[in-house]
Amino acid sequence: MKIQNSKFNHRRSELRSREIQNSNYGFSLVEIVVTISILVFIASLGLSELFPLRDSLQIARTTEDVRSLLFEARSKTLAGEDATVHGVHFETGMVALFAGETYVAPGNKELFFPPTVEIANITLSGGGADVVFKKLTGETEQDGSVVVAGSVDSTQTRIIYIEKTGTIRIE
């Protein structure tokens, strides 16, 4: 009886191992697709909250870059570099540091904005879109403000104020 019992147990364990080998323990394609769809949906909810933050950071970075360019133009004028005055020209999608009394397109240091940032408004004394600094004092006759805004969401803005004294502040 023991021999028969042992054969029975051996055959039984052999059948179990075959059942385990033949059974499907993986995931079906439908389960994988549904899981990925749910994860993509959850990720998209999280990312949609980050877009305004990204735009706000790009506006802040661009505003600081414009301020730096204004400071550089003023510094070059005060230092007497190239024996001339320097200024900054403003356009919707870029600013340019130029040498001389007036802006001429080629040969300037240009700063192009990211596609989500633009200059929304230029309000300078005497109209125009150029700020030129005076030798010796660093003052300007083109005082006023420049609004840097989001091109998609124009409610996100930073304002650059240019004082007659040549100082620059951001709000």
Residue 31 resides in a domain? no
Residue 90 included in any domain = yes
CATH number of the domain within which 132 lies: 3.55.40.10
In a domain, 8, yes or no: no
Q: Which domain holds residue 68?
A: 52-170
DSSP 8-state symbol, 78 = H
Under the banding of pLDDT at 50, 70 and 90, the label for residue 11 is low
**Residue 36 located in a structural domain:** no
Q: What share of the chain is helix, strand, coil (3-state, %, to 5)?
A: 45, 25, 30
CA 86-87-91 angle, 5° bins: 150
What are the residues whose beta carbons fall under 8 Å from the beta carbon of 130, sequence distance 6 or more? 87, 88, 89, 90, 98, 102, 103, 124, 142
How many domains are there within the chain?
1
Burial class (CB within 10 angstroms; exposed 0-12, middle 13-18, buried 19+) of 81: middle
How would residue 50 be classed by pLDDT, with cut points 50, 70 and 90? low
Residue 164: pLDDT band (50, 70, 90) is very high
pTM of the model: 0.71
Residue type, 128: G
| Domain presence at residue 32 | no
Domain assignment present for residue 24? The answer is no
Q: Is residue 135 part of a domain?
A: yes
Local structure of residue 113 (DSSP, 8 states): P
